[in-house]
Amino acid sequence: MPHGKYYRSSLVTEAKTITKYARRELLDAVGERYRTGSRAEKAQILGEFCSISGFHRKSAIRVLNGAPERSQCAQHPRRPKQYDDPFCQVLTVLWEASDRVCGKRLKVLLPDLVAALERHGHLQLERSVHEKLMRVSAATIDRLLQGIKEAGGQRRVKRRPTALRRSVPIRTFADWNQPPPGYLEIDLVAHCGELQAGSYVHTLTLTDMASTWTECVPLLVRESTLLVGAVDELRGSLPFLLRGMDIDNGAEFLNETLVRYCATQGIELTRSRPYRKNDQAWVEQKNGSVVRRLVGYQRLEGMAAVKALSRLYAASRLFINFFQPSFKLKEKCRIGGRIVKRYDPPQTPCARLLASEWVLEPVKVRLREIAYTLDPLQLLDEIRKAQHQVVAVANRDEPYAPVPQKDDLTRFLSSLANAWRGGEVRPTHHAKAKPPRHWRTRKDPFEGVWPTVCRWLEADPDQTGKALLMRLQVENPGVFPDVRLRTLQRRLKQWRSQLARTLVFGVHDNVTLATNTSVSMESTFEPASALATTIDR
């Protein structure tokens, strides 16, 4: 008897050739003889039974001794399908309306999102579907949406700190200790594209440590006075008192202008350690999940880009802070070589402010009033339109000016159910189309025999590529290996496409069909889809 890995793999192969009923009959036939036989007889029966049935030796010993097969044991009836296709379509629309957040964040958002969409007349759900949405788990949401989601450097030289740098204390990521709302981490995101030379637009990102409330402001240039003016203007729109700011060590932040402003306004100013981005982990995360997610990586220059970004951030600040739940780290501990992180349940920044004891009641009332009037679908539609405008400015195209229509939101809502089929929906993330390739990179292996193959096909057009290759191998021994089959099949498909075009339009080109084999196939023959496109036209 063979043993080891080969033995197990061979048993799996044999097990596929015998049914469970035949295995049951075999067990009844040899079971009694096995139980009453001697040691040598049992070894012989066991080997034969394993080789025929595909059982592992230990499993075979159990069933031959009288134990029932696992497949014969009582099985629980399969549960009926709870979440059908209509429910999945509704869930897909809500996932799109939330700007494609993960299942754990969407689970928390569903009650508010469904209520907002129903309140504005965008959604009408049956009672059973509504109940399923309220009780569906985050893991089930991810499972139901899984198929849809699937369609260095040199070391820097340390500089001695200046007097200004020494005047601003350092605060690391572990020094916050659950601050109240009003302590912000701020950073700049450069929209320079692939070239850092010249002047380009920046985004000033501000993230509150307690609530993760995020604000974004476009800046025409990276300049300290402009930055201080943006912060001063933004203070009036924050739902909390600005108590402190944490900056990095860039010259745009660490300068006399900002230090003097914070000192006169009573704002606590701290800085991170040089080249330690984890000290500003909160705002760095928002640089990717908010700014780069909305704007992308294209180069933006001039006032037109600033105006486009201002429109985008005006809509996105409400959508993100009122309809985008986020995780917040609760604790982190090290167990040996492993770091264990625990997070609070995901909440929107607005929900965290409403639950905070530091926020005054009039401010909470105002937040509730704003949340009640907001339409998430309208905000998302405005974000998409603003992204189109950003792309037009980045590509230096004509200004994007959509014609306003009354049914814009209706059409936008109806498109959410199938938006996932088109892949990326953000205009700022569309990749540039590559020009079609019309040249060959390798010599045509069938260049010398293609006229002969064309004569064979004209005599019998139904021949397969495999049959043609076997015929060529017989007439040309050692010239055409089996790996040429796929190439020949592509040539055959192109030949039939051109023949169909000839039959439909009456365009007959003998040179193209039979004799001209030195020209690349991509430029000689049109793809099969071209025929259908021409007929449709």
pLDDT tens-digit series, residues 352-394 = 999 999 999 999 999 999 999 999 999 999 999 999 999 999 9
Q: In this prediction, what percent of the chain has a pLDDT beyond 70?
A: 84
Q: How far is CA 41 from CA 32, 48, 56, in A?
A: 12, 11, 18
Rounded (to 5) percent helix, strand, coil in the chain: 55, 10, 35
pLDDT of residue 357: 93
Together in a domain, 22 and 125 = no
pLDDT of residue 16 exceeding 50 = no
433 within some domain: no
Residue pair 427/397 in contact by the 8 Å Cβ criterion: no
Cβ within 8 Å of residue 422, ≥6 positions away: none
pLDDT of residue 5 exceeding 50 = no
Instruction: Give residue 407's pLDDT band: very low, low, confident or very high (50, 70, 90).
Output: low
Together in a domain, 132 and 188 = no
pLDDT of residue 429: 85
Together in a domain, 52 and 103 = no
pLDDT of residue 76: 60
- Supply 495's token pair: 């030949």
434 within some domain: no
What mean pLDDT is predicted for residues 55-71?
78
Listed residues 94, 123, 150: the one ending a domain: 150
Listed residues 13, 42, 71: the one ending a domain: 71
500 within some domain: yes
What mean pLDDT is predicted for residues 240-264?
92
Residue identified by tokens 């917040």 is 328
Together in a domain, 239 and 375 = yes
Q: Hey, which of 299-308, 403-412, 507-516 has the most confident mean pLDDT?
A: 299-308
pLDDT of residue 506: 62
- Supply 452's token pair: 């002969």
Instruction: Give residue 247's pLDDT band: very low, low, confident or very high (50, 70, 90).
Output: very high
pLDDT of residue 289 exceeding 70 = yes
> Degrees (nearest 5) of the Cα angle 14, 76, 132?
120
Instruction: Give residue 419's pLDDT band: very low, low, confident or very high (50, 70, 90).
Output: confident
pLDDT of residue 30 exceeding 90 = no
Residue pair 387/393 in contact by the 8 Å Cβ criterion: no
Report the mean per-residue pLDDT for the chain: 83
Together in a domain, 61 and 39 = yes
pLDDT of residue 513 exceeding 50 = no
Listed residues 150, 185, 201: the one ending a domain: 150
pLDDT of residue 14: 40
Number of domains present in the structure of the chain: 4
517 within some domain: yes
- Supply 397's token pair: 């195209």
pLDDT of residue 526 exceeding 50 = no
The tens digit of pLDDT for each residue in 103-160 reads: 999 999 999 999 999 999 898 888 989 999 999 999 999 999 988 888 744 445 556 7
Together in a domain, 193 and 313 = yes
pLDDT of residue 271 exceeding 90 = yes
Together in a domain, 482 and 523 = yes
Taking the C-alpha atoms of residue 21 and residue 71, their distance in angstroms, rounded to an integer, is: 11
pLDDT of residue 511: 38
249 phi and psi, to 5 degrees? -100, 20
59 within some domain: yes
Together in a domain, 124 and 259 = no
45 within some domain: yes
pLDDT of residue 11: 37
419 within some domain: no
80 within some domain: no
CATH number for the domain that contains residue 189: 3.30.420.10
Pairing of strands 244-247, 338-347: unpaired
Together in a domain, 528 and 491 = yes
pLDDT of residue 176: 84
Together in a domain, 348 and 318 = yes
Per the structure, the complete domain to which residue 250 belongs is given by 163-330+343-402
Together in a domain, 146 and 167 = no
Together in a domain, 388 and 253 = yes
